[in-house]
């Protein structure tokens, strides 16, 4: 019947007269048309239409999401505080407080809110994120009033007991794990924190939008959990757990009028007060450069993740992004999977933070079809979004697909209504709007859709992240790396090696080393890792993320791995060059040959004296230490044993650990100095 009405209206001249008025009404009341949609239309399904928003006199925000189709009742409280307020000294305090509030000194021993609600047929849990801490529970709807009262008691006016803190710490440690053995002994995570703090690699949001976060290692969090104090927990609770810093959501089967009255009684009784707030008003700063990342995982199928970055979208534009990606994914499934068998599945991903992020479609593909398929998707995006070739019938189909999948398939049970309520609240807050996601997606015109695509898929914001296929064989990268490792060793050894005439060797003696040398080698290994990090960190931070580097014809991941292999060998073998292996007399030269084949050669004319000295005496001789060029270890732990002390005419001193130092001294003096 409604269809006949619209057809007759189109044929009548009355339509010409009312079009200007309809346009004016739509301009000022863009959602009025929703009331005139035919009842049998799929548009009639609106999961957001009964969601209402309130604010109590004490500042607490309340969101009601009733549904008479639900069998259960769900409650959730968001407290606007999380890991963002923590530092290395109170790390994990938000998470520990979350666990602690489930305990209550008013209960009998062994009872907590977890068990209390479970005994009444429900369930409860919590979470801690970067900017918020949440508590949520579900129960049969007939006990909804009781659950609201329990949440009020659990969150406000709490008297936290010292005895409960250690128990809460134990439960947190079971969740996050114990610190590692070395971290526990040293009371800090030296290696992990060193890498994370001094050589951080920027994540997507930092590199593309300048949004930084402070991260800590797992062991730092585990150690901090053990050290958190009663005062730190109380301070966090008093600073952030107050009504106007909370949002209360309820969903499921309940009477809205009765529920808001109960909430005003139970949660509105707490006085309005001020406290601290989390600084989450972050303004992304887009770099306006294409995002390109190329990696290789030879034992996995090639993977393509392609789309766009975005920033500062309107409510309609975010759904234009979803709609186009949904439709693109749908077509790829039909073309690449169903027709050609060149993918398993195509997925849509949208990652958002402060109304900035990326939207992509991703799919696996075969080795042979990689180049064809990535060029196919690139051409679709280029033609349809930037060259305005996305036709009206395609827009209609894309919007229909997204409306059906993201709106009309929505369930109306308590869990689903809680998700709708949370999404609606976030939607209003993020876009500073009063419209719902439903209203946003149903008010997009074709012209707005095309303009939105052109803005969102700006070439400067293109996003491509791929796992490249191998060129010839799956083992290709490992063969290349092994080959380059061998070549690097040869080149580095060549750089450090010094030649001498082996046919003119008159005397050879192995140097002796105590167990201390093992400690020194390990120390130098750590030093080499530090030096390696100093060189590689700027590469990881500035070069590797650049689109220029990732677009190089020669696979960039090969270049990076080749470079890092060579640099580490160069540093480590350079440090090993400090460790002597042999003392050699060749013709009229004294040669110290190192582990890394490096030679230090002394002509006999440059040698002033060869003597012996104990390590003990050496340690208490500042003058000798001051003139010493290199220090080589004695033969054992007995520091009164003697080693060789070689002095040059230039004033440099060399100490060499060697067995039978007196005999060696005599032989060297005979070979090098008696006729000098």
> Do both 258 and 316 map to the same domain?
no
Of residues 172 and 516, which shows the higher confidence score?
A: 172
> Do both 199 and 312 map to the same domain?
no
Q: Pick from 437, 467, 497: which residue ends a domain? A: 467
SS (H, E, C) 485-548: HHHHHHHHHHHHCCCCCHHHEEEEEECCCCCHHHHHHHHHHHHHHHHHHHHHHHHHHHHCCCHH
> Do both 324 and 253 map to the same domain?
no
> Do both 37 and 77 map to the same domain?
no
> Do both 379 and 238 map to the same domain?
no
Would residue 495 count as lying in a domain? no
Section 80-94 average pLDDT:
95
Would residue 317 count as lying in a domain? yes
Q: Pick from 266, 301, 325: which residue ends a domain? A: 266
Of residues 214 and 89, which shows the higher confidence score?
A: 89
Of residues 183 and 445, which shows the higher confidence score?
A: 445
Is the sign of the CA dihedral 401, 406, 407, 408 positive or negative? positive
**DSSP assignment of 114-150, as one string?**
HHHHHHTT-EEEEEE-SS-EEEEEEEEGGGHHHHHHH
The tokens describing 673, both together, are 């100095």
Tell whether the model's pLDDT for residue 169 goes beyond 70. yes
**DSSP assignment of 324-390, as one string?**
HHHHHHHHHIIIIIIIT---S-EEEEEEESSSEEEEEEEEE--TTTHHHHHHHHHHHHIIIIIS---
Report which DSSP code applies to 635: S
Rounded distance between C-alpha atoms, residue 251 and residue 147, angstroms: 12
Rounded distance between C-alpha atoms, residue 514 and residue 199, angstroms: 35
Cβ pair 163, 89 in contact under 8 A: no
> Do both 616 and 652 map to the same domain?
yes
Q: Which domain does 170 fall in, by range?
A: 52-266
Tell whether the model's pLDDT for residue 36 goes beyond 60. no
Q: Pick from 447, 467, 487: which residue ends a domain? A: 467
> Do both 222 and 258 map to the same domain?
yes
> Do both 148 and 104 map to the same domain?
yes
Mean pLDDT of the chain: 84
Give the tens place of pLDDT for each residue, 321-347. 999 999 999 999 999 988 888 888 999
pLDDT band at 66 (very low <50, low <70, confident <90, very high): very high
Cβ pair 77, 134 in contact under 8 A: yes
pLDDT at 9: 36
> Do both 401 and 463 map to the same domain?
yes
Tell whether the model's pLDDT for residue 430 goes beyond 50. yes
The tokens describing 134, both together, are 């949440």
Would residue 491 count as lying in a domain? no
Give the tens place of pLDDT for each residue, 549-584. 776 655 666 777 788 888 888 888 887 777 778 888
Would residue 524 count as lying in a domain? no
Query: 133-140 and 72-79: which strand pairing?
Result: antiparallel
Q: CATH number of the domain that 99 lies in? A: 3.30.830.10
Tell whether the model's pLDDT for residue 297 goes beyond 60. yes
Would residue 546 count as lying in a domain? no
The tokens describing 509, both together, are 């003696």
Would residue 172 count as lying in a domain? yes
Across 202-206, 278-282, 482-486, least confident range: 278-282
pLDDT band at 637 (very low <50, low <70, confident <90, very high): low
Section 95-102 average pLDDT:
96
Number of domains the chain is built from:
4
> Do both 39 and 137 map to the same domain?
no
> Do both 360 and 249 map to the same domain?
no
Give the tens place of pLDDT for each residue, 442-489. 999 999 999 999 999 999 999 999 988 877 777 877 888 888 889 888
Is the sign of the CA dihedral 638, 644, 645, 650 positive or negative? negative
pLDDT at 516: 63
Give the tens place of pLDDT for each residue, 119-159. 999 999 999 999 999 999 999 999 999 999 999 999 999 98
Would residue 527 count as lying in a domain? no
Residue 241: Cβ-neighbour burial (10 angstroms; 0-12, 13-18, 19+): buried
> Do both 128 and 88 map to the same domain?
yes
Would residue 554 count as lying in a domain? no
pTM of the model: 0.76
Section 404-423 average pLDDT:
92
What is the 3-state composition of the chain as percent helix, strand, coil, each rounded to the nearest 5? 50, 20, 30
pLDDT at 29: 43
């Amino acid at each position: 019947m409604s269809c006949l009405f619209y057809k007759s209206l189109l044929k009548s001249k009355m339509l010409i007269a009312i079009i200007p008025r309809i346009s004016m009404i739509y301009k000022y009341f863009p959602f009025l048309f929703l009331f005139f949609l035919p009842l049998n239309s799929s548009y009639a399904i609106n999961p957001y239409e009964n969601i209402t928003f309130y604010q109590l006199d004490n500042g607490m925000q309340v969101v009601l999401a009733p549904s008479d189709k639900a069998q259960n009742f769900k409650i959730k409280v968001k407290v606007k505080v999380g890991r963002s307020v923590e530092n290395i000294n109170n790390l994990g305090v938000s998470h520990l407080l979350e666990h602690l509030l489930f305990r209550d000194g008013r209960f009998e021993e062994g009872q907590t809110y977890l068990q209390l609600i479970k005994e009444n047929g429900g369930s409860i849990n919590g979470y801690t994120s970067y900017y918020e801490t949440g508590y949520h529970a579900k129960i049969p709807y007939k006990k909804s009033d009781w659950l609201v009262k329990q949440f009020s008691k659990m969150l406000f006016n709490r008297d936290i007991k010292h005895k409960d803190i250690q128990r809460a710490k134990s439960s947190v440690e079971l969740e996050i794990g114990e610190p590692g053995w070395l971290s526990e002994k040293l009371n800090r995570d030296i290696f992990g924190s060193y890498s994370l703090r001094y050589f951080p690699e920027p994540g997507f949001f930092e590199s593309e939008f300048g949004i930084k976060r402070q991260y800590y290692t797992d062991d730092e969090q585990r150690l901090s959990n053990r050290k958190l104090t009663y005062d730190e927990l109380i301070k966090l609770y008093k600073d952030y757990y107050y009504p106007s810093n909370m949002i209360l959501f309820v969903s499921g089967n309940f009477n809205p009028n009765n529920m808001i009255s109960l909430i005003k009684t139970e949660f509105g009784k707490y006085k309005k007060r001020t406290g601290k707030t989390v600084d989450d008003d972050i303004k992304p700063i887009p770099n306006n450069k294409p995002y390109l990342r190329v990696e290789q995982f030879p034992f996995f199928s090639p993977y393509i993740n392609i789309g766009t970055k975005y920033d500062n979208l309107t409510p309609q534009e975010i759904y234009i992004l979803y709609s186009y990606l949904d439709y693109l994914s749908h077509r790829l499934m039909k073309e690449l999977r169903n027709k050609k068998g060149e993918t398993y599945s195509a997925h849509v991903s949208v990652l958002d933070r402060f109304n900035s992020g990326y939207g992509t479609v991703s799919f696996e593909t075969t080795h042979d079809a990689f180049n064809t398929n990535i060029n196919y998707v690139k051409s679709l995006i280029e033609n349809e979004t930037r060259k305005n070739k996305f036709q009206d019938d395609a827009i209609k189909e894309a919007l229909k697909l997204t409306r059906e999948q993201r709106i009309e398939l929505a369930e109306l049970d308590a869990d689903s209504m809680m998700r709708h309520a949370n999404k609606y609240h976030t939607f209003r807050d993020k876009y500073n709007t009063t419209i719902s996601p439903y209203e946003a997606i149903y008010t997009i015109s074709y012209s707005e859709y095309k303009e939105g695509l052109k803005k969102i898929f700006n070439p400067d914001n293109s996003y491509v992240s791929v796992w490249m296929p191998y060129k010839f064989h799956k083992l290709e990268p490992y063969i290349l790396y092994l080959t380059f490792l061998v070549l690097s060793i040869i080149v580095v050894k060549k750089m450090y090696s010094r030649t001498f005439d082996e046919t003119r060797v008159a005397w050879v003696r192995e140097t002796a080393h105590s167990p201390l040398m093992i400690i020194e080698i390990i120390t130098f290994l750590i030093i080499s890792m530090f030096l390696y990090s100093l060189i590689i960190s700027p590469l990881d931070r500035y070069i590797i993320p650049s689109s220029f580097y990732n677009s190089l014809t020669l696979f960039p991941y090969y270049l990076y791995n080749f470079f890092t292999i060579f640099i580490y060998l160069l540093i480590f073998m350079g440090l090993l060059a400090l460790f002597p292996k042999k003392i050699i007399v060749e013709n009229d030269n004294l040669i110290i040959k190192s582990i890394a084949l490096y030679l230090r050669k002394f002509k006999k004319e440059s040698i002033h004296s060869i003597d012996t000295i104990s390590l003990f005496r050496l340690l208490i001789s500042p003058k000798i230490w001051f003139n010493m060029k290199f220090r080589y270890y004695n033969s054992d732990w007995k520091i009164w044993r003697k080693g060789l002390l070689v002095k040059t005419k230039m004033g440099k001193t060399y100490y060499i650990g060697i067995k039978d130092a007196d005999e060696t001294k005599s032989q060297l003096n005979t070979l090098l100095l008696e006729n000098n």
